[in-house]
Amino acid sequence: MLHITFIAGEVGHMNDERVVELVHGDGGGATGALIEEVFLPRIGNDSLDAGEDAAAIAGGEDLRFTTDSFVVSPLEFPGGNIGDLAIHGTVNDLAVTGARPKWLSAGFILEEGLPFSVLERVLDTMGRAARRAGIRVVAADTKVVGRGAADGMFINTAGVGTVLPGVRMGFDRIAPGDVIVVTGSVGAHGIAVLSHRAGFSFETPVESDSAPLWPLVGRLLEGVGSGLRFMRDPTRGGLATVLSEMARASGVDIVLEEEALPIDDAIDGATRMLGLDPLYLACEGQAVMVVDASRAPRVLDIIRSTEGPWDPAIIGRASAGEGRAFMSTAMGGTRVIERRRGDPLPRIC
């Protein structure tokens, strides 16, 4: 159970003016509404409206373009820091659309007083992560703001990638009979960040799964080609939000088997202790994919033989229905899986 604490002090007069709330960053329904009602009507176009993790853009090759901002607190956490997260977040958004990550820009907003030692550690990690994923940092910018105007540092990255020939993944390719594969245990990043946050600190051996999904996705595309129907990385909204959006957008039902979900013992323990649902915890190095059932064994083999924080499993299937996501529970019940609603754990990435 979560409790509430007020810190008494200056409180702005509440009026009816609509303001941005933390819930608008939950990566679920409130974020979706903000994008659809406030952003898209003003800055939208064909590419942005498509709502893909990375947009198709015109160019000499089949290009994908994406951007992501990183505000994680604390800056350093077990298994990573904001630097490798900023690389992996953008690399993974490109990878799940079938694009080989090529070029990346990075914008840094540094708060006055940030220790150089922290900045250097973050940049070292960032450089290593970029090299490992095969992406080049080709443009960067730095701004410094006064104390209190940013929490240590924020990073924005944007990335461009080239789609492997013949790749076509999308919601419209998901069909009844397909199986759902997840690359590994869900929830590691969420638990790792939480364990080092003020007010939540607890002992856990769980480290973030922050990792690049490339070259893994490249190997999968080479190995099974069009057998891969759709792919996404379950970040802020967790596996539940991805599955719910998948079902909604494709019009088929997604049925998850609770007992098939790979959940690391330490993550399982931490979520039970904290009363959190691992289906809604962020991952930063995992992908959930819809796969032609006949190619699923090959997909599992490729993931197992690629280096990374992976422990793949077939966790469910697509079936004819009305575009809803369910989970068959270990007790034989059926639970409806919804998009994330609200967020007690902001600034996870």
Partner 1 sequence: MLRVPAGGRTLADARAHGADVRVVYGPADALAIARSEPDRFVVFLGVGFETTAPALALALREVEASRVDNFFVFSLQKTVPEALGALFAGGALGLDGLILPGHVATIIGRVAFDFLARSPGIPAVITGFEPLDLLHGLDTLVGEIEGARTRVVNAYPRAVRERGNATARSLVAEYFHATDARWRGLGAVPESGLSLRAEYRHRDAEPLISADGPWPEDPPGCDCAAVLTGRILPTECTLFGDFCTPEDPVGPCMVSSEGACAAHYLYRRGGRAHE
Task: Using CB under 8 A, list all residues that contact partner 1.
Answer: 1-15, 19-23, 29-30, 33, 199-200, 248, 274, 322-324, 329-331, 333, 336, 338, 341-342, 344
CA distance 141 to 326: 44
Which lies closer to partner 1 via its Cβ, residue 60 or residue 199? 199
Query: Is residue 157 within 8 Å of 70, Cβ to Cβ?
Result: yes
Q: What pairing do the DSSP bridges indicate for beta strands 179-182 and 136-145?
A: unpaired
Query: What is the closest distance, in whole angstroms, from the C-beta atom of residue 30 to partner 1 in the complex?
Result: 8
The residue among 196 and 219 lying less far from partner 1, judged by its C-beta, is 196
Q: Which is nearer to partner 1, 7 or 43 (CB)?
A: 7
Q: How far is the CB of 166 from partner 1 (least distance, A)?
A: 34
The 8-class DSSP code of residue 213 comes to: -
Residue 17 Cβ vs partner 1, minimum distance, rounded to whole Å: 8
Please check whether residue 254 is in contact with residue 243, taking contact to mean a CB–CB distance below 8 angstroms. yes
- Report the relative pairing of strands 153-163 and 228-232 from DSSP bridges: unpaired
CB of 337 to partner 1, least distance (A): 10
Q: Which is nearer to partner 1, 46 or 203 (CB)?
A: 203
Three-class SS of 319-346: ECCCCCEEEECCCCCEEEECCCCCCCCC
Selection from 343, 281, 285, 348 nearest residue 74 by Cα: 348
- Compute the distance between CA of residue 283 and CA of residue 263 in angstroms, rounded to an integer: 12
Q: Which is nearer to partner 1, 173 or 335 (CB)?
A: 335
Query: To the nearest whole angstrom, how small is the minimum distance from the Cβ of residue 209 to partner 1?
Result: 23
